[in-house]
Chain A
Amino acid sequence: MSEIVLKNVCKQYEKGQQYAVQDVSLRIGEGEFVIFVGPSGCGKSTTLRMIAGLEEISRGELWMDGALCNYVEPKERGLAMVFQNYALYPHMNVYDNLAFSLQIRKMDKKEIDRRVHEAAGMLGIEHLLRQRPGSLSGGQKQRVAIGSALVRNVKVFLLDEPLSNLDAKLRAQMRVELAEIHRKLGATMIYVTHDQTEAMTLGTKIVVMDQGRIRQADRPAEIYNHPADRFVAGFIGSPSMNFFKGTIRVPGRAAFLELEDGTMLEVPENRAGLLEEKYAGQRVVLGIRPEDLHEAGWPGGSGKTGHADRSSWKLEGEIVAREMLGSECMLYLESDAGDFAARLPVAVRGAVGEKKQLYLDMTRAHYFDAQTEKNIFYREGRDLV
């Protein structure tokens, strides 16, 4: 069993300074693949370094395998780490860099050799084994750093942006490789990344951090479909979610969201109850992902389904930019309700400067409290729906 539990862990680098990490509580089960994401400087590396034992924990508890580990030396913790800045040994060649952790354990030379070559082969750095780190490119260094963690047979891996410097192809390849290693070893992986794809595909759990605090920790699909607050909603997903300020109006039987330009969007049945009850006449923020905007004629784009009038879900804007993504196309629009982006089929018509009417799939929209920025429908890790 190798469970890692953080209880209200805080880190303050200097007295009187702001907390780099604050009240982080997290349970990481054996074999989990936990991804830390968050804007630069939010405390991801710090959290990782506290788990590794490289930073003292200012307040709170760190439990590993049921034992309090706050003051256990890094070398006793039995984990492997890939550092954000690689931390290769400059005077050793790549082979020794990979073998170092095994050599100091006086492991059998043949076994070391086998493991080093296995790791090097997997990472495609076999031809570099005799070189010094100084003569390697950034991506090559990074692979050496990954390799020197992988040769170790440990239960917990800490990886701080391990693929950040690789080219797209290699990165995709390594992503698959890491998933495979995770499956094969059954080890716990704690992984920091800025890459949305890595976060969504690799993780069994995503931890979204901001300013030293955890905003939400859940399975990738949950985070994507049921973000806890506006920050998480905006941070996860690329391009990020569109937000519109609006007010809930209940003129008759149905509830409407009035945008700033006066557009009235009817709120679908399943959302209407709570909004009518608690937010009538109040300001909320509507969040909708670019892929949930459509052209006229999308299935169910007109007529009535349920009780809401879908034909009211339209918004007009002026196209300010158009981006080809390959299989899809991004449109960036400006309107009086706010700027927004839409991900549409490549065939979509509309040039820069033209007006374009798009339909919002309100069944997939999110509603955030304008004051607290919390997701109104988020409860205890699950949406009410």
Chain B
Amino acid sequence: MRKAARKWKGSSAYLYLLPCFCVFAVFLFYPFAKTIYLSLYKTNKLGQAKLFVGLENYKNLLTSEAFYNSMTVTLVFVAIVVLGSMLLGLIAAVLCSKAFPGIRVFSTSYALPMAIASSGAAMIFRIILNPTIGIVNKLTGLDINWISDPRYALVCVAVLTAWLNSGINFLYFSAGLGNIEESIYERASVDGANAVQQFFRLTLPGLSPILFYTLVVNIIQAFQSFGQVKILTQGGPGESTNLIVYSIYRDAFFNYRFGSAAAQSVVLFLIVMALTLVMFRIERKGVNY
């Protein structure tokens, strides 16, 4: 009797997880399983699996130049976006960590990108970067076709994305800074540390747990950028901004090669997972305190 009760108590935990699990199953586990399944088939135009081809989709992928280009573009993009958005968020958060008149306005505007849809922002950037009427060229006096020049297009998309992602980073970092005790800065200033020393010896280490978390989230988020590419460059000019997510989209919904798109998705998943695992491994070795 008692044993049964205990057993029920132990397994009742799963009952609580059930609703959440159902949602995950429908929107996450099923599509994921289906993706893996599709990546092993050739499909018809409706995306139905028709012919089992084993690992051929993957083989094709790994021998195609377009895929490698897409990978390189994505890595460069992710590097710029992660660095840019974290720096922007960090600087904004540090600037807003001390109370001053009008701080509300500033914090709101630093956090605002979070609330802007990526496609909307991309539309605005199109106007800003327009070679003839855009404010960038007007102000700098340059004559650059930002979006149509393969040298600048990727950077433009990356900067836009960095700015979009900086809003949430600002929030993370602000919360992290709030967790650092004010008194250690007082002690440091009596100890004789200047502002730079205080930043590198106290602020950065104090942020390290949240810094790590933010880094992981940012990398994942950057890998999944889509809307801004779709609106701003459509992967062009040439293939210069053909990020992997955009390439998946194109393969699936323009070229109707669902098998190849699914294979790319799986590869993207593997990359992101590997990165995340590596970072957690590093973290456990002592970024934290």
Whether B187 lies near A104 (C-beta < 8 A) is no
Whether A101 lies near B184 (C-beta < 8 A) is no
Please, what's the 1-or-0 string for A113-139, where 1 marks a CB less than 8 Å from any CB in chain B?
Answer: 000000000000000000010100000
Whether B289 lies near A87 (C-beta < 8 A) is no
B194 — which chain A residues lie within 8 A by C-beta? 75
Give the nearest-CB partner of A82 in chain B. Answer: B187
Whether B186 lies near A89 (C-beta < 8 A) is no
Tell me the complex Cα distance, A88–B289, Å: 14
Whether A90 lies near B201 (C-beta < 8 A) is no
Please, what's the 1-or-0 string for A74-111, where 1 marks a CB less than 8 Å from any CB in chain B?
Answer: 11010111010101111110000000110011000000
* B39-58 with Cβ < 8 A to chain A: none
- Bin the interface of chain A by size: 20 to 34
Whether B188 lies near A100 (C-beta < 8 A) is yes
Give the Cβ gap from A62 to chain B, nearest Cβ, in Å.
15
A54 at the interface (CB under 8 A from B): yes
Give the nearest-CB partner of A93 in chain B. Answer: B289
Please, what's the 1-or-0 string for B173-213, where 1 marks a CB less than 8 Å from any CB in chain A?
Answer: 00000000101101111111110010001100110100000
Partner of B191, one of A53, A73, A101, A134: A101
A52 at the interface (CB under 8 A from B): yes
A104 — which chain B residues lie within 8 A by C-beta? 191-193, 197, 201
- For B187, B191, B197, the residue with the greatest tally of chain A CB atoms inside 10 Å of its CB is B187
A52 — which chain B residues lie within 8 A by C-beta? 190
- For B190, B197, B289, the residue with the greatest tally of chain A CB atoms inside 10 Å of its CB is B190
Given known A74-B190, A75-B189, A75-B192, contact A87–B181 (CB-CB < 8 A): yes
Give the nearest-CB partner of A79 in chain B. Answer: B190
Give the Cβ gap from B289 to chain A, nearest Cβ, in Å.
4
Whether A88 lies near B190 (C-beta < 8 A) is no
Whether A90 lies near B206 (C-beta < 8 A) is yes
Given known A75-B192, A100-B201, A101-B192, contact A91–B187 (CB-CB < 8 A): no
Whether B206 lies near A91 (C-beta < 8 A) is yes
Give the Cβ gap from A350 to chain B, nearest Cβ, in Å.
51
Whether A80 lies near B201 (C-beta < 8 A) is no
- For B183, B192, B201, the residue with the greatest tally of chain A CB atoms inside 10 Å of its CB is B192
B186 — which chain A residues lie within 8 A by C-beta? 54, 74, 83, 87
Given known A104-B201, A132-B289, A134-B289, contact A89–B184 (CB-CB < 8 A): yes
Given known A75-B190, A75-B191, contact A91–B181 (CB-CB < 8 A): no
Whether A91 lies near B208 (C-beta < 8 A) is yes
Give the Cβ gap from A295 to chain B, nearest Cβ, in Å.
52
Give the Cβ gap from A185 to chain B, nearest Cβ, in Å.
18
Give the Cβ gap from A78 to chain B, nearest Cβ, in Å.
8
Give the nearest-CB partner of B192 in chain A. Answer: A75
Given known A87-B184, A87-B187, contact A75–B289 (CB-CB < 8 A): no
A132 — which chain B residues lie within 8 A by C-beta? 289
B191 — which chain A residues lie within 8 A by C-beta? 75, 80, 100-101, 104, 148, 152
Whether A90 lies near B193 (C-beta < 8 A) is no
A100 — which chain B residues lie within 8 A by C-beta? 188, 191, 193, 201
Given known A87-B181, A132-B289, contact A75–B193 (CB-CB < 8 A): yes
Give the nearest-CB partner of B194 in chain A. Answer: A75
B181 — which chain A residues lie within 8 A by C-beta? 87, 90
Give the nearest-CB partner of B289 in chain A. Answer: A91
B193 — which chain A residues lie within 8 A by C-beta? 75, 100-101, 104
Tell me the complex Cα distance, A104–B192, Å: 8
A81 — which chain B residues lie within 8 A by C-beta? 187, 190
Give the Cβ gap from A262 to chain B, nearest Cβ, in Å.
57
Tell me the complex Cα distance, A101–B205, Å: 17
B187 — which chain A residues lie within 8 A by C-beta? 81, 83, 87, 89
A85 — which chain B residues lie within 8 A by C-beta? 183
Tell me the complex Cα distance, A91–B188, Å: 14
Tell me the complex Cα distance, A92–B193, Å: 15
Tell me the complex Cα distance, A85–B187, Å: 11
A88 — which chain B residues lie within 8 A by C-beta? 184
Whether A105 lies near B192 (C-beta < 8 A) is yes
Partner of B183, one of A53, A74, A83, A134: A83
B201 — which chain A residues lie within 8 A by C-beta? 89, 100, 104
Whether B197 lies near A90 (C-beta < 8 A) is no
Give the nearest-CB partner of A49 in chain B. Answer: B186
Given known A104-B197, A104-B201, A134-B289, contact A87–B183 (CB-CB < 8 A): yes
Give the nearest-CB partner of B205 in chain A. Answer: A91
Give the Cβ gap from A298 to chain B, nearest Cβ, in Å.
52
Partner of A89, one of B190, B192, B202: B202
Given known A87-B181, A90-B206, A100-B201, contact A54–B289 (CB-CB < 8 A): no
Whether A74 lies near B189 (C-beta < 8 A) is yes
Tell me the complex Cα distance, A77–B188, Å: 13
* A238-286 with Cβ < 8 A to chain B: none
Give the nearest-CB partner of A54 in chain B. Answer: B186
A87 — which chain B residues lie within 8 A by C-beta? 181, 183-184, 186-187
Give the Cβ gap from A55 to chain B, nearest Cβ, in Å.
10
Whether B189 lies near A73 (C-beta < 8 A) is yes
Give the Cβ gap from B211 to chain A, nearest Cβ, in Å.
12
- Contacts from B to A (Cβ < 8 Å): 181, 183-184, 186-194, 197, 201-202, 205-206, 208, 289
Ranked 4 nearest A-B pairs via Cβ:
A101-B191, A87-B187, A87-B183, A91-B205
Interchain Cβ contacts under 8 Å between A and B, 6 examples: A52-B190, A54-B190, A74-B186, A75-B189, A87-B187, A101-B191
Question: Knowing that A100-B193, A104-B193 are A-B contacts, what are 8 other residue pairs whose CB atoms are under 8 Å apart, sorted by A's residue number?
Answer: A53-B189, A54-B190, A75-B191, A83-B186, A87-B183, A89-B184, A90-B181, A104-B201
